[in-house]
Amino acid sequence: MIKIEHLSKSFGKFAALKDINVHMRQGQAISLLGPNGSGKTTLIKSILGLVIPEKGNITINGQSVKRDWSYRSLIGYMPQIGHYPDNMTIDQVFALIKEMRKDTHDYDEELIRGFQLNKLGNKTMRSLSGGTRQKVSASLAFLFSPSVYILDEPTAGLDPVSSELLKEKILKEREAGKLILITSHVLSDLEGIASHIIYLQDGDLRFYSAVEELQAATGEEKLNKVIAHIMKNESRVAKTIQ
Ligand SMILES: Nc1ncnc2c1ncn2[C@@H]1O[C@H](COP(=O)(O)OP(=O)(O)OP(=O)(O)O)[C@@H](O)[C@H]1O
């Protein structure tokens, strides 16, 4: 579904992504992990066409992201920080985005109702708390029932109830066979959601494996323990999972 081949991106002399090769398939929930600055957002933005890599190819359903931006309608993107016109109300933001996506009228408003944003429709974006802003971003990512979700730190800033609600929604979409790419530093949030892990470090793809495979290789069950084990014993585990 998303194929990335020999992708490299530098900012000046700094190499943010180095020869990345990944094939992401429908039905996978891939957790993109790695330390701060390891290249996760740069990879996501390359898929979205928001960052232009100097080398390599990305195709979505065989269509290159370089020539034609229509592939973006397949993707629901939740950015780390959503930017919206300050003077617009929540209702106006949803109306504007729907107006821009006239190709579909089949809206998924489950999150809007779940987060009770329908009761805050007259509030301006300027007046919203960080968490409520996140709820708007999440609701927009799910609004058009896309085939692919790209979620950058989706639960950051959400209260525990809202975070659970969002996780349940992600799981439901995974069970519906969608492709989900998700970054989070809160590994417990990915427990039970992630089917695969991509681990980036210093712009290198260290591994891309099924969670079950990593659990078997490390002898650990919980995701945070699996990742901690791999980080401590990287070269030995890498041999097992390759
Ligand atoms: N527009 C830019 N100009 C210069 N350097 C950039 C730019 N965008 C990213 N970088 C650098 O590229 C590297 C990778 O950044 P990126 O945002 O992809 O990391 P990340 O893994 O998403 O980090 P985090 O976990 O903190 O969100 C960092 O060193 C960052 O400073």
Per residue in 123-147, pLDDT (tens digit) is: 999 999 999 999 999 999 999 999 9
Residue 102: DSSP 8-state: T
pLDDT in tens, 44-85: 999 999 999 999 999 998 888 887 778 888 999 999 899 999
Residue 238 confidence (pLDDT) above 90: no
Cα of 36 from ligand 1 centre, angstroms? 8
23-38 burial string, b = 16+ CB within 10 Å, else e? ebeeebbbbbbbeeeb
Q: Could you identify the atom of ligand 1 that is nearest to the CA of residue 34? A: 21
Task: Say if ligand 1 is within 6 A of residue 41 CB.
Answer: yes
ipTM (interface predicted TM): 0.97
- Alpha carbons 15 and 196: distance in angstroms, whole number: 25
Q: How far is CA 222 from CA 54, 71, 99, 170, 219, in A?
A: 38, 35, 43, 19, 10
pLDDT the model gives residue 60: 93
Report the nearest-CA residue for atom 8 of ligand 1.
42
pLDDT the model gives residue 237: 59
106: pLDDT confidence band, cut at 50, 70 and 90?
Answer: confident
Q: What is the mean pLDDT of residues 92-120?
A: 93
Q: Of 2-6, 32-36, 220-224, 234-238, give the lowest mean pLDDT range.
A: 234-238
Q: How many domains does the chain have?
A: 1
Cα of 21 from ligand 1 centre, angstroms? 19
Residue 122 confidence (pLDDT) above 90: yes
pLDDT the model gives residue 235: 58
pLDDT the model gives residue 236: 62
Across the chain, what does the average pLDDT equal?
92
Cα of 4 from ligand 1 centre, angstroms? 19
pLDDT the model gives residue 9: 97
- Alpha carbons 80 and 83: distance in angstroms, whole number: 10
Q: What is the mean pLDDT of residues 171-182?
A: 95
pLDDT the model gives residue 129: 95
- Alpha carbons 202 and 180: distance in angstroms, whole number: 23
* Burial status of residue 181 (CB atoms within 10 A of its CB: 0-12, 13-18, 19 or more): buried
Residue 239 confidence (pLDDT) above 60: no
CATH (domain of 119)? 3.40.50.300
Q: What is the mean pLDDT of residues 168-184?
A: 94
pLDDT the model gives residue 242: 55
Tokens 């996978």 correspond to: 28
- Domain hosting 46: range is 2-241
Residue 76: Cβ within 10 Å count: 23
Q: What is the mean pLDDT of residues 6-12?
A: 96
Task: Say if ligand 1 is within 6 A of residue 13 CB.
Answer: no
Residue 130: Cβ within 10 Å count: 10
Share of the chain above pLDDT 70, in %: 96
